[in-house]
C-alpha cells in the first residue's frame, strides 16, 4: 500500500538476512479487516507509508536463526504452523506500561501491517513471507485449529477477547452486541462462552444475522428493518423491562453510541470497542443516559499478548462448534488485493482473506 487511496502494488523484496533470534514465516493466510480499510482511507495517525498491510497472519516457519521459543515456553522448529502477535516493541518501562498498566497505550509500541513501514522490510501479511523480528511473541497453532479457523477469527477475535475482559460479564447476564462484523460476531460467541444468559446481536444484513445466530446469538435485531425505538421496545419485552446488563459496541458507528446507553439497564455497563478511528461525534444526554442511569462506560484499545494466547485457547476448545472459519468468507491472491479492499470497504463480506502463496 504505497499511500492512502493509491492502488495496491505488488513489489519484490530481497529475502532478509536473519539476525540471531529472527525467523521467516511463509504466509498461509492474512486478512483484510476494517483497519486495513481505514489505512487505505488514510484515517489512522502515524502510519509510515508505504506499508505491507495484514496485521494478523498465520503461516509455516520457513527458516529461523538460533532457537525460537513460543510465549508458553515450547521450542519451535522449521515447518511448524506458527502464529505471532502483531504488536511488538512495547517497552515495558514507560508510564503507560508500568504505572498506568495500559501497555496498549505505550508510545514505543509498533504493530505489524499498521505502524511498520515496508521500507523496513517484510512487516505485514499481504506478502508471501513475513519477517519475525527477534522478541516477537510467537505461538504454535494448536493441532486441532486449522489456518481457516485462526484467520476467520483473526484480529476481530483478539479484539473481542479484550472486549469481553472489559465487559466483566456475570453468569446469566443479558448482553447486547451492536455490530455483526468480524469483531461483533466474535463478541457474540465469547459472550455466550463467558456465561451470558441471553445474547442479542444488532446488525445487518440478513446473512450476517444468520451467522450471528450460528455464532451463539439468541436474538438478532435487524438494523435495516427496525428503528432504535423498536429495538429498545423489543429488548424491554425480552427482559421483562430490565434491559441489558452489558452492551458492547462493535460497529464503529457514532449512531450506535447514541443508542447503546439506552439499551443498558440502570447500573449497567457500556463498552466501546468499535471506534478504532474517528468516525465523528455522538450526542448523549448525560442526565438521562449516564448520570441518572448510574451507567459505567469503558473504552477498549488494542490488545495484549495475553489476549492473543487466550484467543488461541478459545479456538482450540471451541472452533469445532463455533464457526469462526465462516467469517473469512472469500479468499484473494496478491494480484487481487485492489478488489479485496474495495469489497471490504463496501462491507459485502464479513472478512476478505489474503492467500499470497
Residues that bind Zn ion (CB under 5 A): 33, 35, 91, 94, 97, 106, 155
What is the 3-state secondary structure of the chain? Answer: CCCCCCCCCCCCCCCCCCCCCCEEEEEEEEEECHHHHHHHCCCCCCCCCCCCCCCCEEEEEEEECCCEECCCCCEECCCCEEEECCEECCCCCCCCCCCCCCHHHCCCCEECCCCCCHHHCCCCCCCCEEEECCCCCEEECCCCCCHHHHHHHHHHHHHHHHHHHHHCCCCCCEEEEECCCHHHHHHHHHHHHCCCCEEEEEECCHHHHHHHHHHCCCEEEECCCCCHHHHHHHHHHHCCCCCEEEEEECCCCHHHHHHHHHHEEEEEEEEECCCCCCCCCCCCCHHHHHHCCCCEEEECCCCCHHHHHHHHHHHHHHCCCCCHHHCEEEEECHHHHHHHHHHHHCCCCCEEEECCC
The residue among 27 and 35 lying less far from Zn ion, judged by its C-beta, is 35
- Nearer to Zn ion by Cβ, of 76 and 136: the residue is 136
206 in Cβ contact with 274 (< 8 Å): no
Q: Of the two residues 47 and 97, which places its CB atom closer to Zn ion in the complex?
A: 97
The least distance separating Zn ion from the CB of residue 163, rounded to whole angstroms, comes to: 14
At its nearest, how many Å lie between Zn ion and the CB of residue 93?
Answer: 6
Q: Which is nearer to Zn ion, 151 or 191 (CB)?
A: 151
Nearest distance from C-beta of residue 97 to Zn ion, angstroms: 3
Give me the least distance between CB of 162 and Zn ion, in Å please: 13
Query: Measuring CA to CA, how many Å separate 277 from each of 15, 212, 302?
Result: 34, 24, 12
For Zn ion, the closer CB: 101 or 287: 101
To Zn ion, the closest distance from the beta carbon of 98 in angstroms equals: 8
**Shortest Cβ distance from residue 204 to Zn ion (Å)?**
21
Residue 126 CB, shortest distance to Zn ion, in Å, is 12
If the CB atoms of residues 262 and 351 are measured against Zn ion, the closer one turns out to be 351
The distance of closest approach from Cβ of residue 303 to Zn ion in the complex, given in angstroms and rounded to an integer, is 10
Distance CA 309, CA 5 (A): 34
Angle at 169 between CA 165 and CA 175, to 5 degrees: 115
CB of 308 to Zn ion, least distance (A): 13
Nearer CB in complex with Zn ion: 155/164: 155
Nearer to Zn ion, 269 or 307 (CB): 307
Task: Report the residue number, 44 or 232, with the smaller CB distance to Zn ion.
Answer: 44
Amino acid at each position: 500500500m504505497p499511500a492512502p487511496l493509491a492502488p495496491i502494488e505488488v513489489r519484490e523484496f530481497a529475502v532478509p538476512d536473519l539476525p540471531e533470534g529472527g525467523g521467516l514465516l511463509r504466509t498461509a493466510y492474512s486478512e483484510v479487516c476494517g483497519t486495513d480499510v481505514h489505512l487505505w482511507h488514510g484515517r489512522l495517525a502515524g502510519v509510515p507509508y508505504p506499508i505491507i498491510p495484514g496485521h494478523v497472519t498465520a503461516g509455516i516457519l520457513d527458516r529461523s536463526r538460533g532457537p525460537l521459543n513460543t510465549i508458553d515456553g515450547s521450542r519451535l522448529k522449521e515447518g511448524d504452523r506458527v502464529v505471532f502477535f502483531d504488536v511488538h516493541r512495547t517497552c515495558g518501562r514507560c508510564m503507560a506500561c508500568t504505572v498506568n498498566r495500559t501497555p496498549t497505550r505505550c508510545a514505543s509500541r509498533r504493530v505489524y501491517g499498521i505502524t511498520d513501514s515496508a521500507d523496513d522490510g517484510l512487516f505485514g501479511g499481504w506478502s508471501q513471507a513475513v519477517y519475525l523480528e527477534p522478541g516477537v511473541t510467537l505461538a504454535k497453532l494448536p493441532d486441532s485449529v486449522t489456518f481457516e479457523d485462526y484467520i476467520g477469527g483473526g484480529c476481530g477475535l483478539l479484539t473481542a477477547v479484550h472486549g469481553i475482559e472489559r465487559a466483566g460479564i456475570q453468569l446469566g447476564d443479558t448482553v447486547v452486541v451492536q455490530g455483526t462484523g468480524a469483531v461483533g460476531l466474535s463478541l457474540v460467541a465469547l459472550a455466550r462462552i463467558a456465561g451470558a444468559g441471553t445474547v442479542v446481536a444488532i446488525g445487518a444484513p440478513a446473512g450476517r444475522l444468520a451467522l450471528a445466530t450460528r455464532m451463539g446469538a439468541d436474538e438478532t435485531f435487524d438494523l435495516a428493518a427496525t428503528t432504535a425505538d423498536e429495538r429498545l421496545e423489543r429488548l424491554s419485552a425480552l427482559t421483562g423491562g430490565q434491559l441489558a446488563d452489558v452492551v458492547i459496541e462493535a460497529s464503529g458507528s457514532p449512531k450506535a453510541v447514541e443508542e447503546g446507553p439506552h439499551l443498558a439497564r440502570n447500573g449497567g455497563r457500556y463498552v466501546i470497542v468499535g471506534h478504532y478511528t474517528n468516525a465523528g461525534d455522538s450526542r448523549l444526554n448525560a442526565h438521562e443516559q449516564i448520570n441518572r442511569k448510574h451507567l459505567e462506560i469503558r473504552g477498549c484499545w488494542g490488545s495484549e499478548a495475553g489476549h492473543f494466547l487466550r484467543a488461541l485457547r478459545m479456538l482450540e476448545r471451541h472452533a469445532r462448534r463455533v464457526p469462526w472459519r465462516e467469517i473469512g468468507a472469500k479468499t484473494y491472491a496478491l494480484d487481487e488485493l485492489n478488489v479485496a479492499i474495495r469489497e471490504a470497504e463496501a462491507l459485502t463480506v464479513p472478512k476478505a482473506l489474503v492467500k499470497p502463496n
